[in-house]
C-alpha cells in the first residue's frame, strides 16, 4: 500500500491537536475516518505511530522522527500554496520592464519604488535600451511592459499613450543662450548643436522649425539618448534639445534649461504584448508610472 496525502494529513492533525476527535474537526471528517487513515498509514510505514496512554494518543519515538520529515514536507506545501497565490493574484511574481533611456533613469526608478510599496516581494527586471529595441523585445514576449518614444512601429503591439512632454533646451554653463528666458529656432543659427537620432520625431520637428526660420545649427554630434545629450551639453559640446524626463540632477551640476518655442513634444507610449492578458503586476506597475508622471507634472507646473 502506498502513502497518500490524506493519511499524512490525519497523522499531522493528531500531532497538532492531540486527539483524534480534534483532528477530525480540523480535517472535516468523522473520528472513525481519522482512525482508519492512521491504521492504513501504520500498515504502510510498518511501525506504530501512537500509543494510548490514559485515553490519550501519545506519539511513539518513531512517530516523532517521522513527524519532523512530515512537517518539512508541509512547509514545502505551504510555500507551493504561497507561490500559487502570488501567481493567481499577481501573475508570475516577476515583472520585466524595458524603457527608453530618458525615462529609465528618472521616472521609471521612482515608479519602481512606488510599486514596491505595494508589492515588496515582486521581482523586477529593468532594462534600458533604444525605443526600437523596447518595441521588438515586447513583441517577442521577452518583456511584459515597454516604455518607448513615438517613432517606434506600433503595429503588432498593444499600446497606449503615456505622455507628451515639451522639449527643453540644454545649454552649457556660461553659454550666451543661457541669458535668454525662451529659446526659438532662430537662436540656433550657427550654434553648436547636440542632436538626437535622425529618426527621433522631436528632432525631426526641431529640424523642420529651424529650416522654416532659416536657421542652420552647427551639428556636432548625434546620440539616441537624451540623458547623454544632457551630459554632452554639460561638458560644453553644444546646445541640445532634450526630453524633460531626462534632466534630473543636471541643473544642480550647472546645466541650464530653457523652454523652446514653438513647442516641440516628446511623446511616449506604453507597449504591451497583444497576445497576453495584462497580469495584475503589470497593471499595478502601469498605475505607478502614471502616478509618478502626474506628480512630476504638478511639480514642474508649480
Spatial separation of the C-alpha atoms in residues 237 and 232, rounded to whole Å:
6
Task: Note the pLDDT of residue 17.
Answer: 87
Non-local CB neighbours of 260 within 8 Å, separated by 6+ positions: 166, 167, 168, 169, 182, 183, 184, 206, 241
Q: Which residue from 129, 95, 100, 128 is spatially nearest to 112, judged by alpha carbons?
A: 95
Task: Note the pLDDT of residue 288.
Answer: 95
CATH number for 13: 1.10.10.10
**Of 73, 88, 103, which closes a domain?**
88
**Of 62, 88, 114, which closes a domain?**
88
Q: Render pLDDT for 212-245 as a digit per residue (tens, 0 to 9).
A: 999 999 999 999 889 999 999 999 999 999 999 8
Number of domains in the chain: 3
Domain span at residue 112 reads 94-164+267-301
Residues 159 and 24 in one domain: no
**Of 88, 120, 149, which closes a domain?**
88
Task: Note the pLDDT of residue 205.
Answer: 95
Residues 243 and 288 in one domain: no
Task: Note the pLDDT of residue 293.
Answer: 87
Task: Note the pLDDT of residue 262.
Answer: 95
Spatial separation of the C-alpha atoms in residues 271 and 265, rounded to whole Å:
19
Residues 62 and 209 in one domain: no
Residues 204 and 241 in one domain: yes
Yes or no: say if 230 and 240 are a contact pair by the CB < 8 Å rule.
yes
Residues 173 and 256 in one domain: yes
CB pairs under 8 A, 24+ apart, for 129-133?
129/98, 129/99, 129/100, 129/101, 130/100, 130/101, 130/224, 131/100, 133/98
Task: Note the pLDDT of residue 5.
Answer: 85
Q: In the structure grid, which three cell numbers stand for residue 98, read together?
A: 524595458
189 φ/ψ angles, rounded to the nearest 5 degrees: -60, 120
Count of beta carbons in the 10 Å neighbourhood of residue 119: 19
Task: Note the pLDDT of residue 84.
Answer: 67
Residues 188 and 204 in one domain: yes
CATH number for 250: 3.40.190.10
Residues 193 and 213 in one domain: yes
Non-local CB neighbours of 205 within 8 Å, separated by 6+ positions: 264, 265
Task: Note the pLDDT of residue 109.
Answer: 93
Residues 145 and 278 in one domain: yes
Residues 172 and 254 in one domain: yes
Task: Note the pLDDT of residue 56.
Answer: 80
Residues 115 and 81 in one domain: no
SS (H, E, C) 113-176: HHHHHHCCCCEEEEEECCHHHHHHHHHCCCCCEEEEECCCCCCCCEEEEEEEEECEEEECCCCH
Residues 153 and 179 in one domain: no
- Please identify every stretch of the chain with a pLDDT value under 70, giving residue numbers as ranges: 1, 79-80, 82-92, 275-278, 296-302
Residues 76 and 153 in one domain: no
Amino acid at each position: 500500500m502506498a502513502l497518500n496525502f490524506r493519511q499524512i494529513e490525519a497523522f499531522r492533525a493528531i500531532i497538532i491537536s492531540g486527539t483524534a476527535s480534534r483532528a477530525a474537526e480540523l480535517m472535516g471528517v468523522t473520528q472513525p475516518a481519522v482512525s482508519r487513515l492512521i491504521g492504513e498509514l501504520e500498515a504502510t510505514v510498518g511501525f506504530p505511530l501512537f500509543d494510548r496512554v490514559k485515553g490519550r494518543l501519545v506519539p511513539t519515538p518513531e512517530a516523532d522522527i517521522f513527524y519532523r520529515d512530515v512537517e518539512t514536507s508541509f512547509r514545502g506545501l505551504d510555500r507551493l500554496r504561497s507561490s500559487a497565490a502570488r501567481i493567481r493574484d499577481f501573475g508570475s511574481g516577476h515583472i520585466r520592464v524595458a524603457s527608453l533611456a530618458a525615462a529609465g533613469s528618472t521616472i521609471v526608478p521612482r515608479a519602481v519604488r512606488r510599486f514596491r510599496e505595494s508589492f515588496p516581494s515582486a521581482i523586477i527586471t529593468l532594462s534600458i535600451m533604444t525605443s526600437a529595441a523596447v518595441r521588438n523585445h515586447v513583441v517577442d514576449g521577452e518583456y511584459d511592459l515597454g516604455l518607448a518614444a513615438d517613432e517606434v512601429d506600433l503595429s503588432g503591439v498593444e499600446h497606449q499613450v503615456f505622455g507628451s512632454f515639451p522639449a527643453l533646451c540644454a545649454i552649457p554653463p556660461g553659454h550666451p543662450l543661457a541669458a535668454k528666458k525662451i529659446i526659438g529656432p532662430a537662436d540656433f543659427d550657427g550654434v553648436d548643436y547636440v542632436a538626437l537620432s535622425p529618426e527621433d520625431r522631436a528632432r525631426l520637428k526641431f529640424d523642420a522649425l529651424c529650416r522654416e526660420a532659416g536657421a542652420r545649427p552647427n551639428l556636432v554630434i548625434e546620440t539616441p539618448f537624451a540623458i547623454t545629450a544632457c551630459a554632452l551639453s554639460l561638458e560644453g559640446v553644444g546646445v541640445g534639445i532634450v526630453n524633460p524626463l531626462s534632466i534630473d540632477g543636471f541643473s544642480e551640476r550647472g546645466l541650464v534649461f530653457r523652454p523652446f518655442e514653438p513647442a516641440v513634444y516628446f511623446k511616449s507610449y506604453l507597449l504591451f504584448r497583444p497576445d497576453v492578458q495584462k497580469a495584475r503586476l503589470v497593471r499595478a506597475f502601469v498605475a505607478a508610472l502614471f502616478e509618478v508622471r502626474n506628480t512630476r507634472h504638478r511639480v514642474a507646473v508649480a
